[in-house]
């Protein structure tokens, strides 16, 4: 009979509504840079899956994640939902960097291609999102996830709907 070792994980986050209060008052790039600089708290999902090291420029975002056991599915590899979350974050945030104050977005779709399995041995994953086309109502972005050997792990395209935000109170 095999014996299992219990593992645990604890994390905390800041009130996401406090950061959301800045939406509409600053451009998307300004908001992301304020988050990167620690002026605004990162959204709870970043703490939940342990994303780190975000970088943002207009039309481009990169995030990193070190695969951990708590990311695993029953097959002993990182769950596709974690990989999809990284891809969605990078693509959506890349779109966000192109938006002026008062304009938001929501994902309309995310098309993912999984190319390689990911485990703890994969090392730090880097996910880069790039805007391919932005119009008045929609934007198309792609995201590429690579491992420490720069091998392509997964690829995604995403269409985002651009939305006018309510004016700040």
E strand intervals along 16-135:
51-57, 60-65, 103-114, 125-134
Mean pLDDT (whole number) for 155-168: 88
Residue 1 has pLDDT above 60, yes or no: no
CATH topology of domain 16-164: Thiol Ester Dehydrase; Chain A (3.10.129)
Residue pair 100/121 in contact (Cβ under 8 Å)? The answer is: no
Dihedral over Cα of 82, 86, 88, 92: its sign: positive
Hey, where are the domains in the chain? 16-164
Q: Give the residue from 11, 12, 14, 40 showing the smallest Cα distance to 28.
A: 40
Q: How far apart are CA 159 and CA 110, in angstroms?
A: 7
- Give pLDDT tens digits for 3-14: 678 888 888 888
């Amino acid at each position: 009979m095999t014996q299992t070792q219990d593992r645990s994980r604890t994390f905390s986050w800041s009130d996401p509504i406090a950061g959301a209060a800045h939406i509409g008052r600053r451009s998307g790039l300004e908001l992301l840079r304020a988050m990167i600089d620690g002026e605004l708290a990162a959204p709870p999902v970043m703490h939940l899956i342990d994303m780190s090291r975000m970088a943002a420029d207009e039309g481009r975002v990169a995030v990193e994640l070190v695969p951990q056991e708590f990311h695993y599915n029953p097959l002993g590899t990182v769950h596709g939902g974690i990989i999809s979350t990284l891809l969605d974050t990078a693509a959506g945030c890349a779109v966000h960097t192109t938006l002026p104050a008062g304009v938001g977005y929501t994902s309309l779709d995310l098309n993912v291609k999984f190319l390689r399995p990911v485990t703890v041995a994969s090392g730090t994953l880097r996910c880069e999102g790039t805007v391919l086309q932005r119009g008045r109502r929609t934007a198309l972005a792609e995201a590429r996830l690579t491992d420490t050997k720069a091998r392509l792990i997964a690829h995604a395209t995403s269409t985002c709907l651009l939305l006018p935000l309510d004016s700040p109170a």
